[in-house]
Every structure is written in structure tokens, then in C-alpha cells.
A and B are shown apart, each in its own frame.
Chain A
Amino acid sequence: NAGVTQTPKFQVLKTGQSMTLQCAQDMNHEYMSWYRQDPGMGLRLIHYSVGAGITDQGEVPNGYNVSRSTTEDFPLRLLSAAPSQTSVYFCASSYKKTGQTSYGYTFGSGTRLTVV
């Protein structure tokens, strides 16, 4: 199994450009999410999805869009890149919550994005 695959690994954008970060998982996980990680800060949730066709906002959703048309894929779109979006982006997935307990997350290897 590949686990969680993120592409690209590195990207440089100019301010105002748009792009899509790809995330795919092959573990049949229902729950998928996007995080950004900035120096000195913990991982912050951007958007998440509890199943195909269902998405919701996390802590820092502004400037980002998501969709979940299939169980496997959860792309993150930057609408108009800004230097403040320079960060490392991680996609994570897990099985659906069972009762009150979540399973552990499987993270991708990350996309390092620089906006100039």
C-alpha cells in the first residue's frame, strides 16, 4: 500500500497564481484532512472531510478550497496565492470514528510551498 500520497513535493508560486495540491490515499479511509505547518507553530487544520461529498472548514480555511468527489482523493486548491500561504502542507487520513475514539492519522510526506 502506498498510504497517503501528496504531489507535488515542492512548488514555487507567484503572488496571485492558483494551484491545486493533490492528496490520494489507498486505505479506504473515510476521514481526510489538510494541515499547514509553520515554523514554531503546531499543525493547523485547514479543511477536512468525513466522507465523499462532505467537507468542512478547520481553523484556517481562508484562501483555500476543497472538494471530495471520491473516497480516495482530497485536493486542496489555493485560489489566489499570497506570501502568507508559504508553508508546508500535510494531508492526513484515518478510519471513521468508532464510538467516541478516533483512529490514528496517516500523514503524507508533505508539500513545501513558497509564494513569492
Chain B
Amino acid sequence: KNQVEQSPQSLIILEGKNCTLQCNYTVSPFSNLRWYKQDTGRGPVSLTIMTFSENTKSNGRYTATLDADTKQSSLHITASQLSDSASYICVVSAKGGSYIPTFGRGTSLIVHP
């Protein structure tokens, strides 16, 4: 069964600090991995998308890495801001005819001033 596990479940950091969120998956055969940011009361918004051949992708202060061999991804947030407080969701899609991506449960990040 395809699974996506995220850790930690929740994280509290001080404004200005860096943090790293983890995503491990068992989805096979792998097609792509996306990270989404979901603010409270809003729909998820795409941060990055990576395919098998990509191992790093940045979007401003967000940098995602992918190790397709170990089936792990991380999302690094640099110089955190209060607006980074949100849930971060890892989503992995498989190759083939299935249109059903596998969602992680998300990491809840709180940035304190």
C-alpha cells in the first residue's frame, strides 16, 4: 500500500530560526513529489514539485530535497517568519494510470515571535 509519513507531527520554532520537515514515502513506481503549504482555514498551496531526476528545488526561503533511492524528502525553511505558521503537506504520485496521489498527514509549524 502506498504511504507517505511526515515528521515531526508538529514543530514550534522562534522567528528567524531555520527548520527542516521530513517526508518518507513508499509510493511506487515514483512519479513526482510535491510540498504544499496550508494556512489555517485555507486550501493547500503548492510550494514545490520534484520529479525523479530532481534532487533539489527552491522557492524563496523554501528548499525541498529528494532522495529517490531512500524514498525521502525534506523541506527546509530558512529564516522563518510568522507567516510560515501553517501545515506543510507532502504529496507523492505514482506513475501509471492512477490519478490518486497519496497525501501525508502534514506537519504543523508554529513560528513564535
Q: CA–CA, A109 to B104, complex, Å?
A: 19
Asked if A107 meets B43 with Cβ closer than 8 Å, knowing A48-B99, A58-B100, A101-B51, the reply is yes
Q: Which B28-86 residues have C-beta < 8 A from chain A?
A: 31-32, 34, 41-46, 49, 51
Interface residues of chain B, those whose CB is within 8 Å of chain A, are: 4, 31-32, 34, 41-46, 49, 51, 89, 93, 95-96, 99-101, 103-106
Question: Nearest Cβ distance between residue B53 and chain A, in whole angstroms?
Answer: 11
Asked if A41 meets B105 with Cβ closer than 8 Å, knowing A48-B100, A97-B99, the reply is yes
Name the residue of chain A whose CB is nearest to the CB of B101. A102
Q: What are 13 pairs between A and B in contact, CB < 8 Å?
A: A42-B4, A43-B103, A44-B103, A45-B100, A45-B101, A90-B43, A90-B44, A101-B51, A102-B93, A102-B101, A105-B34, A105-B44, A107-B43
